[in-house]
Chain A
């Protein structure tokens, strides 16, 4: 379902970025990069209220002609960005949420690994397989 999945660290550098290799991947990287501004905007907008009330799922960040970009932020300011093909007939919001939830769970599992230093790139095979499962469904 997703064409590109990215995990961005708190300092806005990518921990993990993967896209369907068919197209120009750089384009996706660029889209993810630009979406970071939108994410920050959303965070700051909600941040005025109590942090507890801020929802992790940010929803649609911005749509483009071909793609839609969704965002999700964890409490430790790690961002998940997902690029979805617009032609894919309306993926329901719940599905996107569930995908982000899976991402978050996998990310937590990665963090639990003592050999993983926070801030490193994610090389976990379990994480990879999970992302693959999300991306494969596009077909």
Chain B
């Protein structure tokens, strides 16, 4: 290199370089040249004009390097002029070395003159990476250099995967652009990380970051870079571009974190990124990633296996072979740090401890996001399911839904667990239980931010549910009170407008009965009479019939005549069903006394013209009543038949059961040995 430089040194004054200077300069030149030689489109036109065979440094990286020297732009211009780059149009080795020497001179306070470089000068100072600084320049600002690497931690991590895919393509992108662009907008502050930058910039910058560790470890490889040429020298190219980026980075801001822990602190953006990556591997943020999954993921970082193994050792605090979210973030962060040249710590830094991370970040975010998802979905249906997913706790079956709500009404974490348990259990049971328990659980979770959201949703849903629940059950109140679970099931069916189950089948018969008497608008005895039949209570019928008898007897025979056709209808409907006969037996017995008058009645009615004449007005009503009575009786008959059939079935089932039990008893002594 130096020989070539000397050979190519036609345009500049003779350079006397000390050994140390030679080393530094050659390395710097290699980097700049490597970067230039790497991308076909990256080099500025000057590179294209170079004589084939001459290695030149692209103006871009060189400019960056010069800027890193923290000299004013004017001085840099002078230097470039003096070194001859402008004259020849490119930065050959000679020019480059002269420029570096001039920079050194300028930094040591000497005027920028060719003569200055003839004397011995200290090495030019650049805001370079820590490794370079330590090795070569003894940069006092090396600390800043290391800090500066931090912002790229994120950028690199962001484009982890992309780097893998587009590693080769990245190099062709204008590396010159990114370093220039990034420093002004991305001060090395940890928080203000260039996450906001376009991914292209990130890619290039991260690509530059990529070789940092390699460079740190393999400084010797660099001189080989330019010699090996573009195609086969991706890593050296990386290194060159990397150093460039570093050099650029250094210049602006040294104000970044001076705290020793700073590299190990996770910023909000980083945290979000890690959480997203976690989610991509494992949708449930409260669960963990298995070892194999994590291994595949982290292997993409292209760190060596021993290093990854060590990082895992550090981050998996409980050594269970799986990573929870805080553990994952810690591991990710360590990988990012390592990729950016940070030596791995001996022990897990306090800011990366799972407890710290959990305290600092996770719950509000984790559960906020979770509950966001809840809020989006139907609160009634999906909340219990989401909560189920969230909880690792096993299901405990709660007996009645009032019970878990009582258990839940206290404000401990354990209670929260119980609420979760309750929530989980309710998910297994009917939905209305969930809704009823949600307000209880939401009351408990005061500590969590997102819970109020659920509260709002759950409370409204529960109110609606309760309202809805109240309406249908009113018709059959009594059956519900006896079965609490059944009630919840009924509520469940209430909310699901689909088929009501058998229990809801209880509804029709009872409510059907009361409306029947409604059509009858006649006098009270007739009401009583009509009511008597549908209800089918013998006692009531007896009472009614007795009550009926008296008014009938007291009233005109016309009424008896009216009652007679009804009674005639009754006997017709009686034969198919015995219970009806039972019902009507007391009626018959009660009405036996009426029979003579009834038998007399039709005779009298048939012959009683004056009766018919008087009864014209009430006949229509009577007909209406009679039709209503017939309908009711028919329905009654049908139900009575059903009842009898079911009773028969029940008897048969009982008999079968008895037979089976006998068989079982017979078999038992046989099997027991």
Contact = CB atoms under 8 A, between A and B. Distances in A.
Contact of A115 (B312, B319, B320, B346): B312
B316 A112 contact: yes
A124 B313 contact: yes
Interface in A83-136: 108-109, 112-116, 123-126
Contact of B320 (A112, A123, A126): A112
Contacts of B321: 112-114
B114 interface: no
A113 B294 contact: no
A108 B313 CA distance: 12
Contacts of A113: 291, 309, 312-313, 316, 321
A44 B477 CA distance: 75
Interface string B287-318: 00011101100100000011011101100100
Instruction: Give the secondary structure class of B's interface.
Output: helix
A114 B306 contact: no
Contacts of A116: 309
B309 A123 contact: yes
A114 B306 CA distance: 11
Nearest to B299: A115
Contacts of A124: 309-310, 313
Given A112-B321, A113-B321, A125 B291 contact: no
A125 B298 CA distance: 19
Contacts of B308: 115
A115 B316 contact: no
Interface residues of A, number: 11
A125 B294 CA distance: 20
A22 B295 CA distance: 39
A14 B33 CA distance: 48
Interface in A36-55: none
Interface in A14-28: none
Instruction: Give the secondary structure class of A's interface.
Output: loop
B313 A125 contact: yes
B319 A109 contact: yes
B307 to A, nearest CB: 9
Contacts of B320: 112
A126 B313 contact: yes
A15 to B, nearest CB: 14
Nearest to A127: B313
B500 to A, nearest CB: 53
A115 B313 CA distance: 10
B319 A123 contact: no
B319 A112 contact: yes
Q: Which of A114, A123, A124 has the most CB of B within 10 A?
A: A114
A116 B309 CA distance: 7
Contacts of A125: 310, 313, 346
A105 B156 CA distance: 36
Contacts of B290: 114
A113 B308 CA distance: 10
Nearest to B319: A109
A137 B290 CA distance: 37
Contacts of B305: 115
Interface string B304-343: 0110111011001001110000000000000000000000
B294 A114 contact: yes
Nearest to A126: B313
A108 B318 CA distance: 12
A114 B321 CA distance: 7
Nearest to A113: B312
Interface in B92-146: none
B422 to A, nearest CB: 34
A-B interface, 8 closest residue pairs, ranked by CB to CB distance from nearest: A114-B291, A112-B321, A115-B309, A114-B295, A109-B319, A115-B308, A113-B312, A112-B319
25 contacts: A108-B319, A109-B313, A112-B291, A112-B320, A112-B321, A113-B291, A113-B309, A113-B312, A113-B313, A114-B290, A114-B292, A114-B294, A114-B295, A114-B312, A115-B298, A115-B305, A115-B308, A115-B312, A123-B306, A124-B309, A124-B310, A124-B313, A125-B310, A125-B313, A126-B313
Given A109-B319, A113-B313, A115-B308, 7 more contacts: A112-B291, A112-B316, A113-B312, A113-B316, A114-B312, A115-B305, A116-B309
